């Protein structure tokens, strides 16, 4: 199992790599002309693209736009610098589950790949010996990526909502000190990760029966040291449930009982199958029925916990797991938590919920104001008998560049929806793996960026035509050639 490394190559190696990145990008920079008109509204600057989320998806999108000569872009993130995304906040795995050779934010630039960064930081031999990249190293790579490319990020800006104003998006933000500000933009990309289409799921019977001090979701901050010597229950079968179980055991809890509703822990990982060019590049082109059936199989299989994560739990005597054991109720009896299951009552001192997330745009502050206008899969597609799948039906049904589509084409909010691009995990049934997945980023980011620039160019079509008609820079001078 790989852990964060302590031995590093000297800092100049990373500085030299950053210089190589800039040289490589200059070599492949074509076209070199700026092509976007400068947009202002009543004297106020207007962004061509605003991106919400400075994690891997948001950073890669800004880079893709930069390569297409769209520089009037800003990324906004609610976290302080260095705390974007899950990697050093609530992620509790030791390493990423994706293969070390995966490429993503680099968009095919060799000097910008994780391999180049890791080798520059730790040496080529360390890369050869590496099994998987640690989550801390992945965050460090993203930090270097952002700094090297000088991507425009504004931290401590919590996005609270959007309205439509004279053909533009008016974004509202609240800063860490409570101040409110707004920003106009022509396009908006939501790159808000796994839960970006809804919220993390904690069952109502847990929220209603237990004091908040006695339970937490895997996405929250947890004081594991305070749980030392206690009995902990974990609900869930995915990687995050096992990661939290392992972290609790390593912190010295007395016992962890992990409970899952499935009859067996998943063992086949469909995400490894999905890592092929055909699926990653062309899944959105499939007809609806095939997309639906792909996703039904993938969602029903789910991902197993990584093998090393499973062993991380099993090495502790205090660990046990129970299949066919959903939690159906909970209550407090004195200081004990009592959980009802088909296998009988279970008693804990603290419980951790790893039950995934709920897809519901009404639950997100950034999408709540227009959620009722968004077309969902259940609005656009009726599966044949026997193919019903409530979860897939709740996902937004997206256009070819991740844009929201209206339930009703005559809805006056349709132009607003067309200007908002959903680059979160909830795009999966429509678009396949994309911004919230390292595996799909190379293809998803390219599709998104080209869709954004296409829309901007088409909207400005008359401006570009006028630019051509007024273009009068001579290239040929019809005079006598200079003497030889």
pLDDT tens column, 381-412:
999 999 999 999 999 999 999 999 999 999 99
Strands (E), 210-360: 215-217, 231-235, 255-259, 319-322, 329-333, 336-340, 346-348, 350-353, 357-359
Q: How far apart are CA 305 and CA 418, in angstroms?
A: 37
Helix (H) or strand (E) holding 188: strand 180-190
Distances in whole angstroms, Cα of residue 360 to Cα of each of 366, 368, 379: 12, 9, 14
CA 480: distance to chain centroid? 61
SS in 3 state form for 348-412? ECEEEECCCEEECHHHCCCCCCCHHHECEHHHHCCCCCCCCCHHHHCCECECCCCEECECCCCCC
For the chain, percent of residues with pLDDT exceeding 90 = 86
Question: Residue 232 class from Cβ within 10 Å (0-12 exposed, 13-18 middle, 19+ buried)?
Answer: buried
* Predicted pLDDT at 309: 93
192 half-sphere exposure, CB direction, 13 A CA radius: 26
Q: Which residues pair with 394 in a beta bridge?
A: none
Does the structure show a pLDDT above 50 at 1? no
Which of 345, 300, 302 is closest to 322 using CA atoms? Answer: 345
Cis peptide before 65 (omega within 30 of 0): no
Paired tokens of 424: 């979160």
Paired tokens of 388: 């019903």
pLDDT tens column, 36-85:
999 999 999 999 999 999 999 999 999 999 999 999 999 999 999 989 99
Does the structure show a pLDDT above 80 at 11? no
* Predicted pLDDT at 271: 87
Question: Residue 482 class from Cβ within 10 Å (0-12 exposed, 13-18 middle, 19+ buried)?
Answer: exposed
Paired tokens of 34: 């700026």
Phi/psi at 359 (5° precision): -95, 110
Q: Which residues pair with 153 in a beta bridge?
A: 75
Helix (H) or strand (E) holding 159: strand 157-165
What's the chain's average pLDDT? 94
Paired tokens of 353: 């919920």
Q: How far apart are CA 161 and CA 369, in angstroms?
A: 7
* Predicted pLDDT at 482: 77
Tokens 């003497």 locate to 483
* Predicted pLDDT at 407: 97
Paired tokens of 346: 């279970």
CA 83: distance to chain centroid? 14
Angle at 432 between CA 431 and CA 438, to 5 degrees: 120
Q: How far apart are CA 93 and CA 80, in angstroms?
A: 22
Write the Ramachandran bin of 103: left for phi over 0, alpha for psi from -120 to 50, otherwise beta.
beta
N-term to C-term CA, the chain? 71
Tokens 């019903």 locate to 388
Q: How far apart are CA 53 and CA 188, in angstroms?
A: 11
CB 352 within 8 A of CB 233: yes
Paired tokens of 408: 């009703």
pLDDT band at 10 (very low <50, low <70, confident <90, very high): low
Q: State the pTM of this model.
A: 0.94
pLDDT band at 152 (very low <50, low <70, confident <90, very high): very high
Q: How far apart are CA 116 and CA 105, in angstroms?
A: 13
CB 160 within 8 A of CB 366: yes
Distant-in-sequence, close-in-space partners of 86: CB < 8 Å, separation ≥ 6: 55, 193, 194, 219
Q: How far apart are CA 3 and CA 136, in angstroms?
A: 9
* Predicted pLDDT at 434: 80
Paired tokens of 266: 């998943």
pLDDT tens column, 165-205:
999 999 999 998 999 999 999 999 999 998 999 999 999 99
* Predicted pLDDT at 126: 95
Give the 3-state secondary structure of residue 208: helix
Could you give the residue range(s) of every CATH 3.50.50.60 domain in the chain? 11-197+359-464, 202-267+304-355
Tokens 């979160």 locate to 424
CB 431 within 8 A of CB 399: no
pLDDT band at 213 (very low <50, low <70, confident <90, very high): very high
CATH number of the domain located at residue range(s) 11-197+359-464 in this protein: 3.50.50.60
CB 133 within 8 A of CB 114: yes
Does the structure show a pLDDT above 50 at 230? yes
pLDDT band at 274 (very low <50, low <70, confident <90, very high): very high
Phi/psi at 14 (5° precision): -70, -35
Helix axes 11-27, 135-149, angle to 10 degrees: 50
CATH number of the domain located at residue range(s) 202-267+304-355 in this protein: 3.50.50.60
């Amino acid at each position: 199992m790989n852990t964060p490394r302590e031995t590093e190559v000297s800092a100049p190696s990373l500085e030299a790599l950053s210089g190589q990145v800039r040289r490589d990008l200059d070599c492949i920079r074509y076209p070199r002309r700026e092509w976007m008109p400068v947009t202002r509204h009543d004297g106020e600057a207007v962004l061509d693209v605003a991106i919400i989320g400075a994690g891997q998806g948001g950073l890669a999108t800004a880079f893709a736009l930069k390569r297409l000569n769209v520089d009037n872009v800003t990324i906004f993130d609610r976290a302080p610098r260095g705390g974007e995304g899950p990697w050093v906040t609530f992620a509790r795995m030791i390493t990423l589950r994706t293969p070390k050779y995966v490429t993503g934010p680099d968009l095919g630039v060799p000097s910008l790949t994780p391999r180049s960064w890791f080798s520059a930081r730790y040496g080529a031999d360390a890369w050869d010996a590496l099994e998987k990249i640690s989550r801390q190293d992945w965050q460090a790579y993203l930090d270097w990526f952002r700094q090297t490319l000088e991507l425009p990020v504004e931290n401590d800006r919590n996005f609270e909502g959007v309205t439509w104003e004279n053909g533009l998006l008016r974004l509202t933000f609240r800063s860490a000190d409570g101040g409110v500000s707004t920003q106009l933009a022509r396009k908006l990309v939501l790159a808000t990760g796994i839960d970006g289409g809804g919220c993390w799921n904690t069952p109502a019977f847990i929220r209603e029966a237990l004091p908040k001090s006695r339970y937490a979701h895997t996405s929250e901050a947890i004081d594991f040291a305070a749980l030392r010597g206690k009995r902990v229950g974990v609900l869930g079968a995915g990687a995050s449930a096992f990661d939290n179980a392992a972290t609790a055991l390593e912190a010295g809890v007395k016992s962890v009982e992990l409970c899952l509703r499935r009859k067996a822990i998943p063992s086949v990982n469909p995400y490894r199958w999905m890592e092929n060019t055909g699926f990653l590049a062309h899944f959105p082109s499939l007809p609806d029925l095939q997309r639906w059936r792909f996703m039904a199989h993938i969602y029903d299989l789910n991902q197993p916990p990584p093998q090393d994560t499973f062993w991380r739990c099993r090495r502790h005597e205090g660990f046990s797991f129970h299949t066919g054991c959903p939690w159906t109720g909970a209550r407090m009896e004195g200081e004990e938590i009592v959980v009802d299951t088909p296998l009988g009552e279970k008693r804990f001192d603290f419980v951790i919920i790893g039950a995934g997330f709920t897809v519901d745009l009404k639950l997100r502050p950034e999408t709540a104001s227009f959620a009722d206008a968004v077309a969902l899969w259940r609005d656009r597609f009726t599966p044949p008998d026997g193919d019903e799948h409530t979860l897939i039906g709740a996902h937004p049904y997206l256009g070819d560049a991740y844009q929201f589509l209206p339930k009703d084409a005559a809805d006056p909010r349709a132009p607003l929806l067309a200007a908002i691009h959903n680059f979160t995990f909830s795009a999966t049934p429509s678009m396949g793996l994309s911004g919230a997945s390292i595996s799909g980023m190379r293809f998803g980011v390219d599709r998104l960026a080209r869709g954004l620039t296409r829309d901007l160019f088409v909207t400005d079509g008359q401006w570009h035509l006028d630019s051509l008609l007024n273009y009068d820079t001579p290239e040929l001078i019809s005079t006598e050639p200079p003497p030889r």
